[in-house]
Structure 1
Amino acid sequence: MADDHDPTQDESLFPAPSLLPYERWLNDASRGVMLNALEHVSREGLAGEHHFYLTFLTDFPGVDIPARLRAQYPHEMTIVLQHQFWDLKVDRAANTVSVGLSFGGVGSILVIPVQAITGFADPAIRFSLHFAATEPMEEATTPEEPTTGQPEQSEPEESDSSSQVVSLDAFRKKGPSPA
């Protein structure tokens, strides 16, 4: 007897394409778990053997790290929040995480956009999350025209000479012409 709800009968390994953004929603929910953990630690400190690895894209827009670290890690960097870090802050309004760390005995504050973070792990409990980095949404802005106090005169628009209408007949296969 066949089970109509048996997922092993389905040959595909991935869900069917969806018009709903499930992948983005899962990414956002996982990032929320990470942010909750970081906020908890910023208030309460790390308990027991817990510690975090944060992997982020150093070349992502808005990442603020010292130039020497950017030169050493031009694309990606993993930091460890365990014994010596300070001022861990999650700013949900700015969508950033900031933390003070020491690199080679030199203290630095790192500011990381949440969207730049590609990995979060707590090795003490073998917990890890992986995220797809997403580019920040740019707000649509229109350049402001200086106002002169006079109504604008509309000028006829010139035709764009680079725009052309192409006939599909030029691409159709031509058979023998009728004689």
Structure 2
Amino acid sequence: MASEIDYGNLMHRAMRGLIRNVLSDVAERGLPGQHHFFITFDTLHPDVEIADWLSDRYPGEMTVVIQHWFDNLDVGEEGFSVTLNFGDAPEPLYIPYDAIKTFVDPSVEFGLRFETQEESEEKLHAVRDDEDQPAAAKDTSTEPPKPSPPKGDAEVVSLDRFRK
């Protein structure tokens, strides 16, 4: 028996189950009302399947939107596949749940973020390093980066656009 309960992994498993349930409902019934999803995933995950030109264009991370046009949404136990339109070119994608970094439905201000242990430790070290800096050296900019204009039907977006 383990000496500690791993709440972090238990929570991540539950959140991925929620995503699987939501996507299963959408695959069966379509998107209800104004619901739509921004899904950011790790393009370097070994089980992600995307076109080479997409992985070249978005090394490391990509955000896809499931909203107006999507096809062949197939939801499995380990991940989901969907065909999205990139500038009038339909592209099939396979995204394992383990590769998902964020899942957001801005129509109802709902979002999930998955952080690895390494990311949490890096942020903790960054905060500690920042606390050691004099106030003048700290970046106090609150201006979010400006998103690039959309190209075609599918759009990779920055989630900062939806933060309040």
Q: Which residue of 2 aligns with 1:101?
A: 84
Which stretches of structure 1, 4 residues or more, deviate above 4 A after TM superposition? none
Is the Cα contact below 8 Å between 1:27 and 1:131 reproduced in 2?
yes
| Match status 1:131 vs 2:114 | yes
Q: Which residue of 1 aligns with 2:11?
A: 26
User: Structure 1 residue 105: deviation in Å?
Assistant: 1.2
**Aligned partners of 2:113, 2:57: CA distance in 1, in Å?**
23
Is the Cα contact below 8 Å between 1:50 and 1:125 reproduced in 2?
yes
User: Structure 1 residue 90: deviation in Å?
Assistant: 1.0
Larger Rg over CA atoms: 1
User: Structure 1 residue 132: deviation in Å?
Assistant: 3.0
| Match status 1:66 vs 2:51 | yes
Tell me the secondary structure at the aligned position of residue 38 of structure 1.
helix
Percent identical residues: 42
Determine which structure has greater relative contact order: mean sequence separation of CA pairs < 8 Å that are 6+ residues apart, divided by chain length: 2
Is the Cα contact below 8 Å between 1:54 and 1:79 reproduced in 2?
yes
* Count of aligned positions: 115
Is the Cα contact below 8 Å between 1:115 and 1:133 reproduced in 2?
no
User: Structure 1 residue 133: deviation in Å?
Assistant: 5.5
CA shift digits 1:53-97 (9 cap, x unpaired)? 1110001111110001001001000000000001111111xx011
Q: Which residue of 2 aligns with 1:90?
A: 75
Equivalent position to 1:44, from 29, 43, 46: 29
Task: Give the TM-score, by structure 1 length.
Answer: 0.62
Equivalent position to 1:75, from 57, 60, 75: 60
Question: How large is the Cα RMSD of the aligned pairs?
Answer: 1.4
Residues 1:106 and 1:133: Cα distance change in structure 2 (over 3 Å) = farther
Q: Which runs of 5+ in 2 are unaligned?
A: 118-164
Is the Cα contact below 8 Å between 1:54 and 1:120 reproduced in 2?
yes
CA shift digits 1:2-54 (9 cap, x unpaired)? xxxxxxxxxxxxxxxx7111110001111111111111000000011000111
1:60 partner letter: H
Equivalent position to 1:122, from 105, 108, 111: 105
Q: Which runs of 5+ in 1 are unaligned?
A: 1-17, 135-179
* Structure number with higher helix proportion: 2
